[in-house]
Amino acid sequence: MTAISTPSASQPRRRPFLRFLLFSVGVIIALLILVGVGVSLLRSSRNQPIGVDAYPGAAVVNKSASAQTDSVVYETPATVRQGLDFYAQKFGYADQQNTDGCRITYLTDPGMEQPGKYNGRCVVSNSMLDVTQVLSIKIDYAPDADGKTGKTLISIDRTWGG
């Protein structure tokens, strides 16, 4: 007589579908945890100001700060174009597809690069996930009282956090 083997109470039945289901749920939970950690790291990296250097040799004219903003105005004998080129080396020039970067604005038609006839602007925004991180640089010519001489003012405004 041949003995037929039957599963006993001490031998668990194999349930491949249940194992697959438990494994899949575990993988999904692990992925959700990884995504949560990634989003948290990304948000914390945006919770600080964008780093920017002062134009070489520029003197501070005005400075202010609060919890998530700061502003500094510098004065320099450099031209608006020199200031714009300095910041464009780091942030690039803006174009039709990319609004971040630096650009020149002519205040007359036709445009002329003479003192008081143009200015420069640089904007960089790394904002995402409800966290603001923006840098704005304005470069303007300011004539002196005599109207014959002047200086360039560089205003750097930063906002971050959220």
pLDDT at 130 over 70: yes
Query: Which pTM value belongs to this model?
Result: 0.74
pLDDT band at 111 (very low <50, low <70, confident <90, very high): confident
Residue 129, both tokens: 């996930």
* Phi–psi pair at 156, nearest 5 degrees: -115, 115
Within 10 angstroms of residue 158's Cβ, the number of other Cβ atoms is: 21
Q: What is the average per-residue pLDDT within 38-66? A: 85
* pLDDT over 90 at 155, yes or no: yes
Q: What is the pLDDT of residue 35?
A: 79
